[in-house]
Amino acid sequence: MAVDTSPRSTTWTYVDGEWLPGNPPLIGPTSHAMWLGSTVFDGARWFDGIAPDLDLHCRRVNRSAEALGLKPVMAAEEIEALTWEGVKKFDGKTAIYVKPMYWGEHGSWSVVAVDPESTRFALCLFEAPMGNAHAGSALTLSPFRRPTLECMPTDAKAGCLYPNNARILGEARSRGFDNALVRDMLGNIAETGSSNVFMVKDGVVFTPAANRTFLAGITRSRVMSLLREAGFEVVETTLNMADFEAADEIFTTGNYSKVVPVTRLEERDLQTGPITAAARDLYMDWAHSSRNV
């Protein structure tokens, strides 16, 4: 029985000079990306007429491409302009996920190594509601770990990293949790299965120091800057599970839902604290400012 390949929401994709509706067939069985994983992407958001930090997401996808041995074929400014062009194809009522992508079509001197000259580009936009970030999430500790740069291309937002994230999420949800804290190879907390993580203790905000085992996100950086500008102390440092177990507040940041409170860690219930609420409000106030229209 054939699988229905149509997208699950309104979708437009720019590729090879034109906008195509739905889920166009772009990768074949001999494509390098299909069987050897040479894909990178980024994720920005459009909502309420704004696209916060869109320029930074467009720059990062090009850096990711280079880190994976691909050749960026679009300037970041071109990707940004195309995004605004694509947004006009939607009704403007539902939030949009903005996904620029690069992938390799052919191998190089080795079948395994990608040929950078065969790099292809697509920009995919699809409707994706922001969700109820105020509902909070429940976290557990994952048995799986984040790899180091010596093991995987952790300096890129590469598709090959996400099967590990998928098993982290799947294992956590099989035990009744929404997500999980994930350790690096030294046993320190790095992030969750799909977002960066913060904790608050005695009024100080802490987050795992960027050690190249996880993607230190654009939203993470923005929230840190906004909190510091508002007078909060924010510390990047080494954190372990015991630190999070003793935290007064925990929240996560990421492009998909921005700032989300953690309302349960293992069997301990947590409240959405004042600093978590401040982080969310500061981000949304900044995002709706004229700088992001």
pLDDT, tens digit, for every residue of 243-280?
999 999 999 999 989 999 999 999 999 999 999 999 99
Residue type for position 122: A
> Which fold would CATH assign to domain 11-127?
D-amino Acid Aminotransferase; Chain A, domain 1 (3.30.470)
The three-state secondary structure class of 218 is helix
Residue with tokens 């191998």: 107
Q: What is the pLDDT of residue 291?
A: 58
Residue with tokens 């300096």: 155
Q: Does pLDDT of 1 surpass 80?
A: no
CA distances to 40, 71, 74, 216, 278 from 117, in Å: 15, 7, 13, 29, 46
Under DSSP, the state recorded for 141 is E
CA distances to 36, 49, 78, 208 from 121, in Å: 17, 25, 12, 33
User: Which pLDDT band holds residue 152 (cuts at 50, 70, 90)?
Assistant: very high
How large is the average pLDDT for residues 2-21? 96
How large is the average pLDDT for residues 60-76? 98
Q: Give me the percent of the chain exceeding a pLDDT of 90.
A: 94
Beta strands 258-265 and 249-254, pairing class: antiparallel
In the chain, CATH 3.20.10.10 covers 137-290
Candidates 15, 33, 35; CA nearest to 24 is 15
How large is the average pLDDT for residues 137-159? 97
Q: What is the pLDDT of residue 135?
A: 80
CB atoms within 10 A of CB 5: 9
Under DSSP, the state recorded for 113 is S
In the chain, CATH 3.30.470.10 covers 11-127
Q: Does pLDDT of 210 surpass 70?
A: yes
Residue 118 to residue 60: CA distance in whole angstroms:
20
Q: Are 86 and 19 in contact (CB under 8 A)?
A: yes
Sign of CA dihedral 252, 256, 258, 259: negative
**Cα angle, residue 60 at apex, residues 57 and 61 outer, rounded to 5°:** 90
Q: Does pLDDT of 199 surpass 60?
A: yes
Candidates 266, 265, 232; CA nearest to 249 is 265
- Provide the β-strand partners of residue 249: 200
Summarize pLDDT for 94-139 with one digit per residue, the tens.
Answer: 999 999 999 999 999 889 999 999 999 999 999 999 877 678 899 9
CB atoms within 10 A of CB 46: 23
Summarize pLDDT for 212-237 with one digit per residue, the tens.
Answer: 999 999 999 999 999 999 999 999 99
Q: For the chain, what is the total number of helices (H) and then of strands (E)?
A: 7, 15
Q: What is the pLDDT of residue 109?
A: 86
Average pLDDT, rounded, for the chain: 96
* CATH architecture of residue range(s) 137-290: Alpha-Beta Barrel (3.20)
Cβ neighbours of residue 189 closer than 8 Å, sequence gap 6 or more: 181, 182, 183, 197, 208, 239, 240, 241, 243, 244
